[in-house]
A and B are shown apart, each in its own frame.
Chain A
Amino acid sequence: STVVLVFQAPVSRSPKNQGSSEFSFCTRKGDRIRVGEALGRWHDS
């Protein structure tokens, strides 16, 4: 079975924009992951 997630997430709109935030995955290809574990995070810069 396979699950594909497609989603929008915050990204930096401009390097000059102080209020921007950025999404990044916190896994690697081939990693085993379990329900509830973080797939990615975003932070205010």
Chain B
Amino acid sequence: ISFVRKLQTSRASVNGGSSSSQGNSFLVPGATVATILMLGALHARRLYDDKKVEDAREKGLEFEFHPDVKATFLQLLPLRSISRYWGLLTSVEIPVWLRPYVYRAWARAFHSNLEEAAMPLDEYATLRDFFVRSLKEGSRPIDPDPRCLVSPVDGIILRFGELKAAGAMIEQVKGFSYSVSSLLGANSLLPMITEENTHAESSELENTPKDQSNKSWWRVSLASPKVWDPVASSPMKGLFYCVIYLKPGDYHRIHSPIDWNVLVRRHFSGRLFPVNERATRTIRNLYLENERVVLEGQWQEGFMELLQLLFIEPELRTNRPRKKFFHSEPPEERIYEPEGVGVMLKKGDEMAAFNMG
């Protein structure tokens, strides 16, 4: 602004102080250029950070947890309100002629593949519609092997492994873990055994007939739960987890990873922290604090859960205004009918989506 004022002053002095209208007209392009430069700088910095993270990953470096001032400040912001307003803003209909430019800009910024979009760009009325776009038929072939489970989303594998130790902890980053029971809820059907029964249960498992041992549980969880102190128990043998992160430009619909029956839905209305790489390194209990929906069910081999807007329950709304300041309410739970059978989903079925705002 001071730069523009100086320019105005100098131009006014050159013209004998009679060109204030010309000075004002210069102010708008100046602000636009400044905004474009700022956005460019932010984008360049993001690309640099992404590259740094990628290089570190290739070298096998593990990120450690470091809470910082920015993360603390983030926790003070009204993120839920901001997200809701962002949702409102992205629901505004864009003029048809402008749509391809806006969506191409989005795709360029977040590396989306526009050729896969099911409809022509000018048919997505809002940015929100574009964000949850479906894909052309055959864009995502489902692995036909009956002995494999497939990825439910497009994304990056952050973590995976087997839950073995007492408390069944998932590592957020090096040196900081959270309990899977806190993530899924205290009422979870998570197959755990108490410490004192561990030995006995292990012996029983050795003698379990194969058809019984093949019964397992499935969960897909999308983002944030309450902290629950895990009991002194260990997960049963054969309990695995996988954390997948979706970038803003990724395909945001969620598909069933296997044939399974969804028995219970649990909605945790928590915070709305970002879940990017930096946030996982700086916000403690990130996944336990954030809002999430957990789907719990049974498949031939075990157990699963997931968080998002559910196509199998379209009336469920998340990101609602909070009645209380503190996030102490228990999760809202719904048991799908008929009890014990629930909603049957086939491998690859579209079941949910992450909405915008």
Number of A-B contacts (CB under 8 A): 197
B-chain residues with CB within 8 Å of residue A35 when the two chains form the complex = 140, 142, 150-154, 251, 253, 255, 348
Is B238 within 8 A of A11, CB to CB? Answer: yes
Q: Report the nearest A residue to B190, measured CB to CB.
A: A6
* Given A13-B208, A33-B151, A4 and B287 contact (CB-CB distance below 8 Å): yes
Is A10 within 8 A of B213, CB to CB? Answer: yes
Q: Report the nearest A residue to B356, measured CB to CB.
A: A1
B-chain residues with CB within 8 Å of residue A8 when the two chains form the complex = 191, 215-218, 236, 238-240, 301-303
Is B151 within 8 A of A2, CB to CB? Answer: no
For the complex, what is the distance from the CA of A35 to the CA of B153, rounded to whole Å?
5
B-chain residues with CB within 8 Å of residue A42 when the two chains form the complex = 147-148, 301
- Kindly state the interface size class of chain A when it binds its partner: 35 or more
- Kindly state the interface size class of chain B when it binds its partner: 35 or more
* Given A13-B205, A19-B210, A3 and B183 contact (CB-CB distance below 8 Å): no
Is B219 within 8 A of A4, CB to CB? Answer: yes
Is B156 within 8 A of A31, CB to CB? Answer: yes
Q: Does B158 contact A (CB under 8 A)?
A: yes
Is B160 within 8 A of A34, CB to CB? Answer: no
Interface residues of B (CB under 8 A from A): 54, 57-58, 140-143, 145, 147-160, 162-163, 170, 180, 183-184, 190-191, 205-206, 208, 210, 213-223, 236-246, 251-255, 257, 275, 287, 299, 301-308, 348, 354
Q: Which 4 pairs between the two chains have the least Cβ-Cβ distance?
A: A8-B302, A8-B216, A6-B219, A11-B238
